[in-house]
Amino acid sequence: MNVKAINPHHAAREGTQPADLLPKKTLSDMLYYMKQVRELEFRIERKLYRQGKIVGGVYVGRGQEAIAVGACLQLREDDVVCPSHRDMGAFLIRGMSLRTILGQYMARKTGATRGRDGNMHMGDLKLNLIPFVSMLGDNVPVATGVGLSFKMRGQDRVALCFFGDGATSRGDWHEGINMAAVFKVPVVFICNNNQYAYSTPLERQMAVENVADRAVAYGLPGEIVDGNDILAVWDATNRAIERARAGDGPSLIECKTFRMTGHSAHDDAGYVPPELFEFWEEKDPIRRFERFLTQRGIASAADIEEIQKRINREIDEAIQIAEKDPFPEPEDCLRDVYYEGE
Amino acid sequence: MALTTYVEAIRQGIWEEMEKDERVFVLGEDVGIYGGAFKVTAGMLEKFGEWRIIDTPISESAIVGAAIGAALMGMRPIAEMQFADFISCAFDQITNFAAKCRYRWGAGVPIVIRGPSGGGVHGGPFHSQNPEMHYVHTPGLKVVCPATAYDAKGLIKAAIRDPDPVIYFEHKFLYRRVKEELPSEDFVVPIGKAAVRRQGSDISVITYGAMLYLALDAAKELEKEGIDLEVVDLRSLLPFDKETVLESVKKTNKVILLHEDTRIGGFAGELAAIIADEAFEYLDGPVRRITAPDTPVPYSPPLEDFFLPKVSDIVRVARELYAY
């Protein structure tokens, strides 16, 4: 694979940048959440994991922060998100607390699944967050059903469904996308195309050039955006959400990005040519957005520094609390397999 | 009063629940205009409209996945598998998504997945299977196998109202062959409760589904020679009514475990283990199994007849056990 083949710009839609239209609060939220995700995952992967405090695997979305953040920031409270495993921004934006997330990674009773499940397998119906399962792409039919329920009841709600490029090889993905298109459900399907599924590069995953090309086969619009440009992600998602709300059905958005780590914390990604990391490092979504904000005079270097300090402080505090949170009681293993009453 | 067939009982149960609760809807292949391959949903499209009786693409996994998504949003979906054999296509959604939501993150998935199972109609390897044990082996699911029209109606209603995912296997051989008078008032059959269909003193036959009728026929035949069978219809496999099974075994001291499903890993094996664990002292003979052999369900009548358990098998094994 050569660098040119994965350059997002030769395929990305050169759309109008909506940044001038976005309120300053939105722009500052974009920066805050991207930086919060980066810092939180840095602590989890590079600190807590290496200190032996994390139970099980760690999968981060370094370099992909713009996708979940750019897409989820524009949702209404009653909209639904079905994230995948590199979409930490979705959890934070929907309001899951740092303590709950850290508790999840440390297998505590206070984690999102009270120790029943690990890492990114987090969900909460009160936050309209449906957790994914390790069988990637399974959340696509589920999101279709979420959208179907909105349509059946005439509710003005949408669902965002996230997955990676690898998940698009699974049958569930194709069944779910097809059914969504047939029923014209209000769902926006968002692909984090980070070029690798574990160690398998894209060209071993599919013979078409773009995930978005697959949309044609199912009769829904497929759009390619530069996934490292949060404004482009926002813009494409915004249009897809409007389309869904208008009753015109689902869309597929392919966000071209790159996985700046191994598959998981134990994977050194030795199979990825170093020049790819170098190429994509230049496109880092956070630094790029910071440049945009400073060049436009929307934020100063000092403002950005201040945000980073605030994030560090919040995460420091949450880690201190989470580390003291209890593990579940062993007998809790037997509970909640079935309904046990309110 | 008119007699209601097993298939009509299922239809009535769904119909009544849909009238009562607007969250209930059906999705599946050919359930709408065609009324379902076996007419379980006949007339429902006209009554409830295309957003409550939803014809889907041939996508069992997406049918179940979409049912899960809708259930998480507060709906009460009934997903039809055109044949229970096709449920294997949705195995992952059922066992990994639906079954584990409550345990993982406290979210109930009140879906019903129903479809015709079982042989005896020369349907061959892909229209005759009894796939219940794949799901009985999955904590988080409930599995029911009604044998009578009363139970068919009472269990579909219980399944629809249940807060957890229920797999409802209806036996296609029974659809139009069994019928009975049903009460006009609303009723449910609780999931997890067996029914003693025939009181007896010599040998317990524990069974479910279409095999119930073989056990009852065998009992009639054995009655002539003074062998008194007790017949227990499990009705639900997960959870199952352990108390009724053990009570019966403790009374008769001899037991035949009968099912149409194949042998290895069949429900009889589980029952045998529980009886050995908890009623060993009461046994006056070996625990005997009568099941289909460990082969696919064959198509040609002589092959399928060989495959399916028969009344004569029960009579023979009962005589052997009686002689103990």
pLDDT in tens, A138-167: 999 999 999 999 999 999 999 999 999 999
Give me the sign of the Cα torsion angle A223, A228, A230, A232.
negative
Q: How far is B1 from chain A (nearest CA, A)?
A: 38
Chain B residue with minimal CA distance to A332?
B103
Q: Give the domains, in start order, of chain B with CATH numbers.
A: 4-180 (3.40.50.970), 195-322 (3.40.50.920)
Q: Is the pLDDT of residue A2 over 90?
A: no
Closest Cβ–Cβ partner in A123, A146, A339 for B69: A146
Q: Is the dihedral of CA B230, B235, B237, B240 positive or negative?
A: negative
By CA distance, what is B58's nearest residue in A?
A175
- Say if A213 falls within a structural domain: yes
Which structural domain, as residue segments, surrounds residue A110? 4-324
DSSP strand pairing (B4-5 vs B179-180): antiparallel
- Helical packing angle, B149-161 and B6-20, nearest 10°: 30
Question: To which H or E segment does residue B54 belong?
Answer: strand B53-55
Residue A338 located in a structural domain: no
Find out whether A69 and A232 touch, Cβ atoms under 8 Å: no
Q: What confidence score (pLDDT) does residue A7 get?
A: 44
Task: Give B72 to chain A, closest Cα distance, Å.
Answer: 7
Q: C-alpha angle with apex B284: B281 to B290, nearest 5 degrees?
A: 110
Q: Minimal Cα–Cα distance from A1 to chain B, Å?
A: 33
For B51, the token pair is: 């957003």
**Cβ B97–A142 below 8 Å, yes or no?**
yes
Cβ–Cβ below 8 Å for A152 and B100: no
Asked if A176's CB is within 8 angstroms of B62's CB, the reply is yes
Q: Which H/E stretch holds residue A145?
A: helix A139-153
Mean pLDDT of chain A: 94
pLDDT tens, position by position, A26-59: 999 999 999 999 999 999 999 999 999 999 999 9
- Residues B141-168: what's their mean pLDDT? 98
The CATH number covering residue A264 comes to 3.40.50.970
List the end-to-end C-alpha distance of chain A, in Å, as a whole number: 54
Identify whether A78 is part of a domain: yes
Question: Region A11-37: what's the mean pLDDT?
Answer: 78
Contact across the interface for A145 and B163, Cβ inside 8 Å: no
Contact (CB<8Å) B72/A130: yes
Inter-CA distances, B241 with A169, B144, B190, B209, Å: 43, 12, 11, 15
Using the predicted structure, report yes or no on whether residue B144 has a pLDDT greater than 80.
yes
- CA of A243: how far to CAs of A161, A185, A221, A235, in Å? 15, 10, 10, 12
Determine whether the interchain pair B61/A336 forms a contact, defined as Cβ–Cβ distance below 8 Å: no
Enzyme catalytic residues of A: 259, 263, 271
Domain count, chain A: 1
Q: What are the φ and ψ backbone dihedral angles of B291, each rounded to 5 degrees?
A: -145, 175
- Predicted structure pTM score: 0.96
How far apart CA B70 and CA B113 sit, in angstroms, is 13
> Does some domain include residue A332?
no
Inter-chain Cβ pairs, chain A and chain B, closer than 8 A: 133
* 3-class SS of residue B173: helix
Query: Does residue A229 lie within any of the structural domains?
Result: yes
* pLDDT confidence band for A18 (50 / 70 / 90): low
| pLDDT at A21 (0 to 100) | 74
Contacts of A183 in chain B (CB under 8 A): 54
Q: Is 60 exceeded by the pLDDT of residue B113?
A: yes
Q: What span, in angstroms and rounded, lies between the C-alpha atoms of A6 and B192?
A: 56
Name the residue in chain B with its Cα closest to that of A115: B104
**How much is the average pLDDT of A9-32?**
71
Among B60, B97, B109, B164, the residue to mutate for chain A (most A Cβ within 10 A)? B97
User: What's the rounded mean pLDDT across residues A77-106?
Assistant: 98
Band (pLDDT 50/70/90 cuts) for residue A187 is very high
Contact between chains at B140 and A337 (C-beta distance less than 8 A): yes
Percent of chain B with pLDDT strictly greater than 90: 99
Query: B285 pLDDT exceeds 70?
Result: yes
Model confidence at A1: pLDDT above 70: no
* B96 vs A contacts (CB less than 8 Å): 133-135, 138
What is the rounded distance in angstroms from the CA atom of residue A165 to the CA atom of residue A6?
Answer: 13
Please answer yes or no on whether A145 and B52 come within 8 Å at the CB atom: no
pLDDT of residue A6: 45
The pLDDT of A18-24, averaged and rounded, is 75
Reported as a single tens digit per residue, the pLDDT across A224-234 is 999 999 999 99
The tokens for B163 are 């807060």
Sign of CA dihedral A120, A122, A123, A126: negative
Element (H, E) at A251: strand A251-256
CB A46 within 8 A of CB A154: no
Residue A159 falls within a domain, yes or no? yes
Would you say residue A212 lies in a domain?
A: yes
Owner of token pair 């436009």: A296
Band (A17; pLDDT cuts 50, 70, 90): low
> Per-residue confidence at A14, pLDDT binned at 50, 70, 90?
very low
* A145: closest chain B residue by CA: B66
pLDDT tier at A19, thresholds 50, 70, 90 = low
Other beta carbons less than 10 A from residue A179's beta carbon: 28
pLDDT, position A9: 45
Sorting pLDDT into bands at 50, 70 and 90, what band is B26?
very high
C-alpha distance from B139 to closest chain A C-alpha (Å) = 7
And the tokens for A76?
């209404």
Report the distance separating Cα B302 and Cα B312, nearest Å.
16
Q: Rounded to whole angstroms, what are the CA distances from A193 to A62, A63, A165, B96? A: 13, 12, 5, 25
Q: Which residue has the tokens 């597929």?
A: A252
Could you tell me if residue A316 is inside a domain? yes
d(CA A134, CA A218) in angstroms, rounded, equals 25
Active site (catalytic) residues of B:
127
Q: What is the mean pLDDT of residues A259-274?
A: 94
User: What single-letter amino acid sits at A340?
Assistant: E
At position B230, the amino acid (one-letter code) is E
State whether A138 and B93 contact (CB < 8 Å).
yes
Q: What is the ipTM of this complex?
A: 0.96
- Considering only CA atoms, give the Rg of chain A: 19
For residues B269-293, average pLDDT: 98
Q: For the segment A61-81, what is each residue's pLDDT rounded down to a tens digit? A: 999 999 999 999 999 999 999
Choose the closest CB to B65 out of A123, A172, A339.
A172
Residues of B in contact with A146 (CB under 8 A): 69-70, 72-73
